Structure 1
Amino acid sequence: MSARSPVTCHILDTQFGKPAANVAVTLFRLEGGGSSFNSLAESVTDADGRCTTLLPPQTLMAGTYKMHFATKSYFESTGRETFFPFVEIVFDLKNPDQHYHIPLLLSAFSYTTYRGS
């Protein structure tokens, strides 16, 4: 088992080329035979746009997970409007021994993600 959260994230505001701080992040796991997501953890990105302590060090079960990023309040705090009130990234955690890093490259009218390291 790793000595860090098994799932972490990082948000970069690509319009400014700077981290997106103070964005609420929630991690969910798909339960009930695929019928509903249950909340596992909540946190907020730090000054570097990272959420590295979302969960305590542990081994998660393989399954389908979802990261919810509350982007509307972030954009409002910077005086900008956004097309996306939130962003959700659904991913399969297939190997519980691995670390899963979810980067979000964000602007007011687009976003992209990838599996980070």
Structure 2
Amino acid sequence: MNLISCHILDSTFGKNASEIRVTLRSLNDNEQIFVTNATSDGRIKESFESQENQLFELNIASNDFLKECSNMDFSIIPDIPIKFMTKKQNSHYHFSVVFSPSSYSVISVVSDI
């Protein structure tokens, strides 16, 4: 069993991206693993199963979030796709994401559970 966590920050308004939609999908078999919304402090934490060298995409619905919370409709980035590969079981994959309508930055950390 693996763990994935993510902290998502909206740099346009300088706040946590509360309730932003996040989806995890296995790209090897095109299977959706989960869809969840971030907590009020912009975080998710979910467990998931994987094989070695399995490719995943964590997708953050940034444009939908900006439309809902601010009526913005000028982002040319519809979502934030983060592709990553699992290396072994019992790992914790953490992603810190900062975004605006025109850019995003991702920092990733992998550790043993």
Preserved CA contact (<8 Å) 1:106 1:112: yes
Secondary structure in 1 matching 2:63: helix
List structure 1 segments (4+ residues) > 2 angstroms apart after TM superposition: 58-62
CA distance in 1, matches of 2:49, 2:67: 36
CA distance in 2, matches of 1:85, 1:59: 28
CA distance in 2, matches of 1:69, 1:87: 5
User: Which residue does the alignment assign to 1:45?
Assistant: 38
Q: Which residues of 2 match residues 11-22 of structure 1 at below 5 A? A: 11-22=8-19
State whether structure 2 residue 35 is matched by structure 1 residue 70: no
**Which amino acid is the alignment partner of residue 79 of structure 1?**
N
User: Which residue does the alignment assign to 1:102?
Assistant: 95
Please state how far the C-alpha of 1:59 moved relative to its aligned partner. Answer: 4.8
Preserved CA contact (<8 Å) 2:28 2:56: no
Preserved CA contact (<8 Å) 1:59 1:97: no
Aligned length: 107
When normalised by structure 1's length, the TM-score is 0.80
RMSD: 1.9
User: Which residue does the alignment assign to 2:105?
Assistant: 112
Preserved CA contact (<8 Å) 1:6 1:60: no
Please state how far the C-alpha of 1:15 moved relative to its aligned partner. Answer: 2.2
CA distance in 2, matches of 1:91, 1:47: 25
Structure 1 gap ranges (5+):
none
